[in-house]
Structure 1
């Protein structure tokens, strides 16, 4: 049975904002697909006026269904921005870091910062996935179709894929991890092997993953409300100083922390 996922989403900018007519839901995968898939997600909207939704980059692969098209989006190094208007629906599969590699014929880095038709990865089998999976408005029926598609690929999780998922989860959860040397020591793996395996299985470098997960915490602190000591937070997140955090925040989020905070108060 499909179970909803209720933990707060990570990396959503201005998470407190909500528009009338906008809905977002996530669901756990079935146990046999849990080593590969983090969750299924859907966004549906019926809006009187346009709405902009933004998320920070994650080191993951998504399969995305919209209208009659299925695409694959690799790990992205930029924030994702979507302008929603009118009425629409998108459904997706979010893989674990490393979780898509068993389905791929080559390194996941080949898909970084790219969105391609799913048929280019899986051939004719992917061409009817979107219209078939989205034929029903029932989320569970859609997930049944998606899981059948994944199972038909007969992917098998391997030790490296499982290791990459565990390491990335540790990077996300433990704020005191700010350097790849800490990861290498924690998991007993050489730095070069760690970097090579991340490029192959995750698609980006382990240093990048650490930096992005730490940056996710900065807008989340603002969205939570209250004053933020940016100098202390910069050190807490592993930045050399406050200026370094501000530069990184502006480059990824698109504005300074102070500008983001002022917008959140409106």
Structure 2
């Protein structure tokens, strides 16, 4: 399986896009057919061949279709269908970035869905060759990233910022450093104002976003260690849980696995869409 990620070089785009990524599975690849995608507060624009199917499931609902699509922030772990060969070229936006983009049909944050994307309409062109771009990504990641910068730049020149987006941008880097109860004082505004602006821009509460970020950091930490080397009491302390049972309940709620289950299946629960590379 081929996987890569690249940060955009253009500063205007980097304000709204976290990274570009590609993942490809061939017929010879025997990796897991139904991997998991962790809860994710960011939106992805995923480019793929027009007849290639996608399917994201979290019981009892699912999103499915063909071709290029938006994958909006999801609050639950998704099961992916990777049973057939595929290639995805993705654009991972910063949390809440779509709020500031003048994209037709995007009037408010959308959660827990994947929907088809019209790339020609999005880029206001009649000849965006998605398959040629994907082929470039397959063989020359750096040139593909440069091409994405070129294609996407017009989309980001038309952005519009307001007080809500500006306040949310200030909040995001603080979520991983400070208790939410302290953010209002640090940013010189009321807690209610922070919550209202953050929810308006992202569709999430600050607590929900903070929890997703902590889960991602914790799973990456665990992923880099062998099961025998994991001290769960130490992990609970490191990531701010009151005790080991608290950690167990959190993992069970977020990804449907206990720590023991996760240690056995951790390669199946990593965010392979622009996150840690799958084993």
1:168 equivalent in alignment to 2:168: no
- Cα distance change on mapping 1:161 and 1:132 into 2, 3 Å: farther
Which residue is 1:113 aligned to? 112
1:139 equivalent in alignment to 2:137: no
- 2:231 is paired with a residue of what secondary structure? coil
Which residue is 2:45 aligned to? 63
Which residue is 1:74 aligned to? 72
Q: How far apart are the structure 1 equivalents of 2:100 and 2:159? A: 6
- 2:24 is paired with a residue of what secondary structure? strand
Which is further off, 188-197 or 113-122?
Answer: 113-122
Alpha-carbon contact 1:57-1:76 (below 8 Å) kept? yes
Structure 1: segments with no counterpart, 5+ residues: 1-21
Which residue is 1:16 aligned to? none
Which residue is 1:155 aligned to? 158
Q: TM-score, normalised by structure 2?
A: 0.72
Q: How far apart are the structure 2 equivalents of 1:82 and 1:263? A: 15
Alpha-carbon contact 1:60-1:96 (below 8 Å) kept? yes
Distance apart, 1:41 and its partner CA: 0.8
Q: How far apart are the structure 1 equivalents of 2:181 and 2:214? A: 16
Q: 2:259 aligns with which of 246, 257, 261?
A: 257
Which residue is 2:87 aligned to? 89
Which is further off, 255-264 or 203-212?
Answer: 255-264
Which residue is 2:23 aligned to? 43
- Give the number of the structure with larger relative contact order, counting CA–CA contacts within 8 Å between residues 6 or more apart: 2
Matches within 5 A, 1:169-188: 169-172=173-176, 174=177, 177=178, 179-188=179-188
Q: How far apart are the structure 2 equivalents of 1:127 and 1:78? A: 36
Q: 1:228 aligns with which of 206, 226, 231?
A: 231
Structure 2: segments with no counterpart, 5+ residues: 51-66, 268-279
Query: RMSD value over aligned CA atoms?
Result: 3.0
- 2:112 is paired with a residue of what secondary structure? coil
- Cα distance change on mapping 1:250 and 1:116 into 2, 3 Å: same
Q: How far apart are the structure 2 equivalents of 1:182 and 1:121? A: 44
Q: How far apart are the structure 1 equivalents of 2:4 and 2:69? A: 20
Which residue is 2:57 aligned to? none
Distance apart, 1:253 and its partner CA: 1.9
Alpha-carbon contact 1:119-1:126 (below 8 Å) kept? no
